[in-house]
Structure formats: C-alpha cells, structure tokens
Amino acid sequence: MLPMALLAGSIHHLLLKFIRLFVSKRSLARLLSTLLCSIIIVVRPFSSLGGSYPFLVLALKELVFSVQENLAQQLEATILNIMGALLGIGISTLAKFAASKTVLGSAAGRAICAVTLISICFIAGLIKSRLPRLHLSARISCFLSVWILTIDIGEPSRVLPDGGAFLWVTLTAAIVCLLSLVIIMLPFPWVSTNFEHDIASSFSSLHQCLSIALNSNFSNDAMPSPADREAHAVLHAKMLATSIKLNENYSQAAFEIRAGRISLRSIRPLITNIEHLRRELAWGMPLKQPPELRRHGSKSSIQTLPQTPDMFCAVIGPTAQNLGYAILNAMRCVETTVILAFRREDPSSSRFRLFSSTEKEAPWVESQLSAILTAQKQLSLAKEDSKNSFGVLFRDVKLGDGPDGSPVEVPKEIYDGSLSMIALLQMSEEMTSALCVVERLVAKSMESPSRLWLPRVSLAWLGVPPGPFISDDPAAKLTVNFGLDKHVACAADMHLLSDHERKQGQIEYARWMTSRAEKEKVSLQHLKALRPWNIAYIWNILTSFLRWLWVNKQTMNFRLKLWMAHRSMKNSHHLQHALKNAVGAAILTFPAFMPQASSGSRWYHSWHGQWATISYLWVLETNTGATWRTGYLRILGTCMGALYAFITWLICRTNPYALVVMLTVADIPITWVITKTNFAPLVVPCSVAIPPIALAKYFSPEMTKPIGDLALLRALMITTGMVAALLMNSLVFPRHCRVLFLSHTSKTFGLLSNLYLTLSHETFHARHASIPEERRKTLKLELQTRNELHRLSALITTMKNELGLLPVVANMQKILDLLTGLRKIRENIPRREAVMDVFAERRAFMSCVCILLFACQHVFRTREPLPQFLPSARQALNTLERHVHHSLHSAPRDDPRAFGVSLAYVFAEQETMRNIVDTLEKMLELSGELFGTSAWLSEDAAWAPATAVDEGHNGWFNTLMLEDV
C-alpha cells in the first residue's frame, strides 16, 4: 500500500506542477470571460439588445477589454476604453442624427457621415501615435464609428437603436471581463505590480555585481574566471534594463488601488540611487583585464620607486575591500528595509495584510533602525579611512623626470586602483542618500495609519511617460518625453563669441545702419518733392507701410513661429500616421457612402466591408517593421479562424449549447498562446474571425448564403484590410526600422558630442559649474542621450537583434556612462595644475574627441565611408598626461591627505579619458566595418610601412587598420 500511496502522491505532485505551468489566474479569467460572453450572446432576451451585431461582444472582448494581469490594469483598460467607446458612439450618433435631417439618400447626408468618420480616424491616429496608453481607446472609437456610420445612413428610425446596440455591445464586453477577473481573484492572493519588489531586487543585483568586482580586483592576483566575467556582463545588462523599466513600473504602480501605510512615492528617490550606482559600477569598477589587453602605460613624468606598485596594491586592496563591504552591507540593509516596510510581518508572504498591530511591528522597526544607523556609521568611517589612505599612498611619489631625463611609465595598478577607489567613494555617497530614504520610510511606516491609496490621474495615465528623473540636483526637475523625436538645441552658449567675431559683427551692423540711413534720407527727400495728392506719393506711403509691417519685430517673431510650426508639422510622424489612418479608412469605406442603388454600395453591405476597414485600422502600426512583423501573422490567424468557424457550423449548426462549448474550447489554445508565447498576433485575429461566421445562421436564419462562402468572404475582407495596411505603411511615409536606427544613432552621437562639449565648458569656466541652469543643461543632455539609446535598443529588438548593430548601442552606452563618471570626477580635480596650466593640451584632446564623435555622426547620417586618417585622441591624451604630471610637480603638499585625494582624482580622470578613447576607437572600427573607409593609402603601397611606424608619434589614427599597424 505504501508504494501505491507514494506513486499516487508523485502523480498528484506532477499533475499540480503541470497545472501551474500551463494554467494561470489570467488564463482562467480569460476562459471564464469567453464562456460568459458566449452564454450572454446565445440567450435571446439579452442578445436582442445588441441588434444585429451581438457577436461583436466576443470581438471587443478579445481586442479591447481582454483580461489583464491584475485588477489595476483591468480597471485602467476598462475606464479608458469605455471613455473612448462612448466618445466614438456619441460623435457617430450625432453625425448620423444630422444626416437623418437631410433628404433620405441625399449626398449631403452621406457626406456628413463620411467626413465625420474620416475626422474620427484622423484624430484617433494622432492620439494613437502621440499617446501610447490611449491606443486601444482610439481603436475602439474607430471600430464602433465604422459600424455606426456605414449602416442605415439617413434613416431617422435607426439613429438611436444603432447607437444603443453598440453601447450594449461595449458595456457587456467590459463588464464581463472585469467581473471574470474579480471572480478568479477571490480565491487567490492579491495581484499587484510589486514596485517595491523591483526596487529590492535591483539592490540585490547591484550587490551581486559589486561583490564580483571586489573579489576580482582586490581579493587576489588571479584573473577573473570566464564564469565570473559572464555573470558580471549578464548583471550589467540586467541592471541597465531594470533601471530603464523602473520609471515605467512606478508609473504603472502609481495607478493601482492599493491598501497600506506607505505611499510608493516614499521610495521613488531610490530609482535615482539605483541608476547612479549602476553608472558608477559601469565606469569605475570594470573587471581586471589580462596583461595583453591592459592599457599601455603612458610615458609620463612621474618617477616611482620600484616597490611602488606592490606598496600601492598592499594598501589600496584592504582599503577598497573595507569600503566595498560597507557599501554591500548598506545595500543589503536598504533591500531588507524596503521588503519589511511593504511586507510587514512575513517578508515572504504574498498576501497583503491591510491592518496590522503596532506591537507586532515594533520589533522589526527597532532592529531595522539600528541596522540603518550601524550601516551609516560604517560607511562614514570607511570613507574617512579611504581618504586618509590616499595621503599615505602618494606621500612618497616623486614628480619629475627620471635620473636620465626620460619619462618613467606610470604603473597600471595606480590608475586602476585610483579609478576604483573614486567610484567606491561616489557609491558610498549614493548609499548614504539611500539609507536616509529608508530611514524616513521606517519612521513613516510607524506614524502613518493604514489607508486606501487611489490612482493618481496625470498625463502619464494618458500615455505621456514620465521622464527618468536621474538628477544630482534636487532642484533640477527635468522631464524628457519619449514620444518626441525632435532635439531642442540648447541656446545657452550661442552668445559665446570670440572678440574677432564680435567686432566683425559690430562693423557689419554699423555698415548696414549707415546704408539704411542714407536710403531713408534719399527716400524722404524724394517724398518731399512729391505733392500730397500725387498717386506716386500715396503709393510710396503704402509700400513703405507694408514693408515696415512685413519686417518689424513682432511680424518677424510671428513668421518665425509660423515657420517652426510648419516645419514640425511637416516632419511630425504623429501627423503622418494620422493622415495614413484617415486616408486608408476613407478609401476602404468609400463604397459605403455611394448611393444606395449603386453596385458599390450593394457590394459593400453584402460583403460586410466594415471588416476590411477595421482590420486596416488594427494592423496599421506606427512603423513599417512592426506592421510587417504582425501583418503576416494576422493574415494566417484569420484564415485559421475562418476554417475553425466553418467546422464549428458543420458540427453545431444553430444549437446554442454546442456553440457555447465550441467557442469556449477554441479559446483554450488561444489563451495559452497569448499568455505563454509571443505569438499573440497570430491567435487574436483567429479569435475575432470565429464569431461572425459561426453565429451567422444563429442570428440570421433567413440568410441564404452558404456558410463556406461566408467564411471565405470574411477571411477575404479581413485579409484585404491587412494587406492595405502593409501597402500603406510601405509606400506612404515609410518608417523603416533600419532608417530610423541610423538616423537616431547619428542623433545620439550628436547628443554625446554636445554633452562632452558641455562638460569641457564647465571644466574651463568654473563660474558656470554652480549655476543651476548649467547643471540642468548637462543633466538634460544625459537624459536625452539615455532615451535615444533606449529607443535604439527597441529598434534593434524590432529588427530581431541584428548582430552587426548590437555593439554600436553597447559602445554608445559605455561612452555615456564614462562621460557621466568624467563629470563627477572633474568636480574634484585640482583646477590650476590639471586644467589651467595645461589649457592648450586639454584643448587639443577635446578637439580630437569632438572630431571623432562628429566623424561617427556624419557616417551614420550620410551612410558614407570614413576618411582613412583621423586625429589621434590617444596621442593627444598622452601629451596631456605628461603635461599634467609636470604641472603637479610644483603642487603644494602642505596637506598630504588633500594632495593624495586630488592626485587620485587626477589619475581617475586620466583612466576614464583613456577608456573613452578606447571606446571611440572601437566605434570607428565598427563604423568602418558597416560603411567602409575611403582609403587613399592601400596596404601594398610603398609608403604604408612608414605610415604605420609614424602613426602613433605624429598623432594620426588609421581607420583602415592595416596589417602592418
């Protein structure tokens, strides 16, 4: 008996695992909604309220009100889409009422309905492209308007019944889907977006990544294993994706109906801390590289003792580990506090308890407050110890040339250790801020009573995503819109002209004013010679007034604004998509607005051409790639649905019970594909195509057309709309992903160039560093670049992760992270020795970097090959390093600690600039591989070996990468 019991238990366990794998709460809710909708449709007293179109309940259930993952998403979809449906029904019914006041069958009545439908489609297309969250609301407005405005045009007796029928269809689908989710949720735990869990898991990932970096760089002399390198790369990619998604998750979680003590706004500042920590790990804590891949030491002017590298490693290793472990402890403390604050008695519990006693919460509150205070004290002591160690490390470093007057190579360990320590110091500042946030969180958790948190309605709810608020300055509240593709040029530096340019402009202005005064004097003498009643006198007065009216300041401002509005409208892809939406709907519905006796009108109504228009509006996406990617799947799914509907009619005929069973059974594989795979575009049209064919004889017994012919016609109409959408997006204003990728890549290089110029401007002009406008300008450029990189990643995903383009985005992301680190490092470098005394060398290096960025930008914008030789930023950096070290020779050393910290920042800046140069050279290699090189010196030329030898010394970088180089 025992083996049988064990076997039965094993089978039961496997069965439960199978059910959990293939069945979810959303799947059960979807099946329940399909069953309830099918029952309501076949019950005559209810379905009669839907007029001749009650089967559209299943279509709207699948297309618009489909069951979501949680109640908040379902409420959002229900409310927004019902609003869109009511707007579409109201406007269409009003237009139909106006058409009924004209003569029956007149052109005026048909024109009113046609113009209204085209206007609705245009506005819906504009909203769908501009406000992504409202795309389903815009589509349901078009869906209902197409049906209402193309049937019974001009008949007064059908105005209200048609509007009421489609209102019943909409409300039935919305209520059934919402009710199904609520019914399934009753026996299961509360489902939410778990934004706090995303925050906690982000700190956990940061903890793992920092642990790998500390063990690799400071624990021993061995190189990191391939497994560690792979895990480190995976964690970096995961943190980048998570950091981008956190703002979106917060936006979604803010619209949830939650019960609890603490608002999600209290942990929103942690999003900023997570992004800063990710960047500091990216630019400051790379894994140790093998000797053959290491940075070649620059020939600089620092003389180091033979034992300096070993002494440096012996001191910096324990110091870095001490600070790193303090940061790791703080990360773990923040993670635990967030979990406990939102999951109080049992952190692992998935159920949310609305009310909890203060006595039960007191122990964890006291322990967490104690842990937070301990972590803060440990961080503070570790930071002070790290800064003191710099004074010890660099106290014996002698600056100057060697005994023979030649420069001595700076050890690689000094650069790596300085960069890592500066990154750890920056991370400690971020963790101090994060600990303050969770300390306030714990205090608020005790003071605040349990309450119901309602959604906060804002523009983000309507589809305008909030800007990723990653700011170093609390006053710099920036909002960068993902939907805007235009780049607003920063005009803060437009007034910075050289003395020569300013004097030249003053001379030109004075010359123009003199010429204008002479012309006015001559014109005045000419007018005085004329008599007042002379026609020429009046004509001169009139033309002078018109000329003044055309060129005065107010008119010029108005003309400039009008020109900018015209240019933005001409180049706006939102308006282009709206135009395609309206034009396609007008062409496909044109037969419906022809005279009723015409063959076109009869054909449209007998073949139900509304399905062609609806499928066109549903398939038409905002870019060509997305339309093609889903178009062929939708066509195949439509054919499958038509075939299943024909088989259903052969089996069930008009038996309501059998029809309900077959419709529900069809939804089982459809639900599994939607919830478990990425082939939803295949099965959604299949689900939509089944009800109109399978239920045709049930609602219209007098219909004489064979069901087989009806299935072919429905599939043909739906396919026609899809093909029309594919042609429209391919021929009219095409937005191909590859073209968008190249143009956005060029734009991103331009943003990186502007960002680097802004950083250099702040470096050379210390007075601007403290101006909030300058800081906001820098942060805005960083945010715009980050958004463009996110858009490029989405485009690569659309192009099925094309391997040749993946390194482009990765290297640009690396440049952005390095520039962010460079900005933080330059805030602490000694200005006189590292900036002012080496102005010429910094200017040369900055020019080389800008030229290389401009070369990459130009290549991606014009699709033209690179020039063979470009200025070498590496050579300029070597020269800059040598002069900086000469300048530091005379730096005061009264305070060893201050001098050591300054020297560490200098070394960290030089290593960061070296990494920027390495990444830029990789980008030039990638650009050459993608677009080629316009070479004038081939590999077998006589001067090629000499060029290869002199290249590094004369400051030129060869983009052709000759074998001899």
Residue 527 falls inside a structural domain: no
Which of 53-62, 74-83, 250-259 has the least mean pLDDT? 250-259
What is the structure's pLDDT at 958? 78
- Tell me: do 696 and 727 sit in the same domain: yes
Residue 151 lies in a domain: yes
- Same domain, yes or no: 159 and 251: no
User: Is residue 88 within 8 Å of 142, Cβ to Cβ?
Assistant: yes
pLDDT at 583: 94
Q: Are residues 277 and 420 both part of a single domain?
A: yes
Closest to 910 (Cα-Cα) out of 826, 833, 852: 826
As a whole number of angstroms, the distance between CA 127 and CA 964 comes to: 58
Say yes or no: 346 and 390 in one domain. yes
364-389 pLDDT per residue, tens: 778 888 999 999 999 999 998 888 88
Where does a domain end: 405, 423, 453?
A: 453
| 357 vs 680, more confident | 680
Q: Are the beta carbons of 177 and 33 closer than 8 angstroms?
A: yes
- Alpha-carbon distance values, 899 to 398, 405, 420, 891 (Å): 13, 25, 18, 8
- Asked whether residue 219 falls in the same domain as residue 165, the answer is no
Q: Is 869 strand, coil or helix? A: strand
Q: Are residues 272 and 202 in the same domain?
A: yes
Is 712 found in the same domain as 767? no
Q: Note the pLDDT tens digit of each residue in 724-752.
A: 998 898 888 887 778 888 899 999 999 99
Q: Do residues 259 and 354 lie in contact, with contact meaning Cβ atoms separated by under 8 Å?
A: yes
Give the span between the Cα atoms of 206 and 192, in whole angstroms: 24
Same domain, 164 and 227: no
Q: Is residue 393 very low, low, confident or very high in pLDDT (cuts 50, 70, 90)?
A: confident
Mean per-residue pLDDT, 83-112: 93
Residue 487 has pLDDT above 60, yes or no: no
Q: Is residue 879 a part of any domain in this protein?
A: yes
Does 700 share its domain with 781? no
Would the pLDDT of 30 be above 80? yes
Ranges 146-150, 173-177, 317-321, 411-415: which has the least confidence? 411-415
Is position 557 within any domain? no
Question: Is 276 within the bounds of a domain?
Answer: yes
Shared domain check, 54 and 131 = yes
Select the highest-mean-pLDDT range: 476-480, 507-511, 790-794. Answer: 790-794
Report yes or no: 321 and 159 within 8 Å, Cβ to Cβ: no
- pLDDT for 347: 39
Q: Quote the domain boundaries for residue 766.
A: 737-958
pLDDT score, position 18: 55
Cβ neighbourhood burial of 371 (10 Å; 0-12, 13-18, 19+)? buried
Identify the residue whose tokens are 């379902």.
74
Residue linked to tokens 């590298």: 309
Question: What is the mean pLDDT of the segment spanning 929-938?
Answer: 80
Burial class (CB in 10 A: 0-12, 13-18, 19+), 502: exposed
Could you say which of 402, 435, 453 is where a domain stops?
453
Write down the residue that tokens 């979809």 correspond to: 77
Domain count, the chain: 3
pLDDT per residue over 505-558, tens digit each? 556 656 656 666 666 555 655 555 555 556 776 777 788 788 888 877 788 888
Q: Is 172 found in the same domain as 217?
A: no
Q: Output the DSSP codes for 803-865.
A: TTTHHHHHHHHHHHHHHHHHHHHHTSS-HHHHTGGGHHHHHHHHHHHHHHHHHHHHHHHH--P
List the single range of 119-128, 675-684, 931-940 with lowest mean pLDDT: 931-940
The mean per-residue pLDDT over the stretch 844-848 comes to 93
Residue 88 has pLDDT above 80, yes or no: yes
Task: Report how far residue 937's alpha carbon sits from residue 928's, in angstroms, rounded to the nearest whole number.
Answer: 15
3-state secondary structure of 934: strand
Separation CA 121–CA 36 (nearest Å): 32
- Give the per-residue pLDDT at 831: 83
| pLDDT value at residue 146 | 95
Q: What are 68's two structure tokens?
A: 């979501």
Answer yes or no: is 497 within a domain.
no
Is 520 inside any structural domain?
A: no
Q: What is the mean pLDDT of residues 598-609?
A: 91
Give 279: exposed, middle or buried? Use CB within 10 Å, 0-12, 13-18, 19+: buried
**CATH assignment at residue 894:** 1.20.58
- In the predicted model, what is the mean pLDDT of residues 415-438? 92
User: What pLDDT was estimated at residue 33?
Assistant: 94
The residue type found at 433 is S
Inter-residue contact 410 to 300 (CB < 8 Å) = yes
CA–CA separation, 775 and 782 (whole Å)? 11
Q: Which pLDDT value is given to residue 611?
A: 92
Please, are residues 617 and 596 in contact by the beta-carbon 8 Å criterion? no
| Residue pointed to by tokens 């299935």 | 711
Q: Which of 466-480, 586-600, 781-795 has the lowest mean pLDDT?
A: 466-480
Q: Given this model, what pLDDT does residue 830 score?
A: 85
pLDDT at res. 873:
92
Kindly report, residue by residue over 421-430, the tens digit of the pLDDT. 999 999 999 9
Q: What percent of the chain has pLDDT over 70?
A: 77
Whether the CB-CB separation of 663 and 693 falls below 8 Å is answered with: no
pLDDT on residue 9: 61
pLDDT at residue 446, rounded to an integer: 77
- Average pLDDT of 927-945? 70
Least Cα distance to 664 among 10, 36, 24, 17 occurs for 36
CB atoms within 10 A of CB 565: 10
Q: Say yes or no to pLDDT of 399 above 90.
A: no
Work out the average pLDDT over 833-842: 87
Residues 93, 161 contacting (CB under 8 angstroms): no
Mean pLDDT confidence for 622-629: 75
Return d(Cα 667, Cα 674) in angstroms, integer: 10
Nearest residue to 81 via CA among 148, 130, 142, 13: 142
Do 656 and 804 reside in the same domain of the chain? no
**Confidence (pTM):** 0.75
In contact, 893 and 960? CB cutoff 8 Å: no
**Cα–Cα distance measured from residue 121 to residue 133, given in angstroms and rounded to the nearest whole number:** 17
pLDDT in tens, 691-711: 999 998 888 888 888 888 889
> Domain ends where: 453, 481, 504?
453
pLDDT-derived band at 185, boundaries 50, 70, 90? confident
What mean pLDDT comes out for the span 918-932?
90
21-25, 85-89, 337-341, 847-851: range with lowest mean pLDDT: 21-25
Residue pair 841/876 in contact by the 8 Å Cβ criterion: yes
**Does some domain include residue 633?**
yes
Give the contacts of 625 (CB within 8 A, at least 6 positions apart).
736, 737, 798, 799
Length of the chain: 965
When mean pLDDT is compared across 258-262, 482-486, 501-505, 836-840, the lowest value belongs to 482-486
845 pLDDT band (50/70/90 cuts)? Answer: very high
Give residue-wise pLDDT tens across range 273-293.
Answer: 999 999 999 999 888 776 555
Mean pLDDT across the chain, nearest whole number? 80
The pLDDT value recorded for residue 799 is 74
The secondary structure element, H or E, covering residue 871 is: strand 869-871
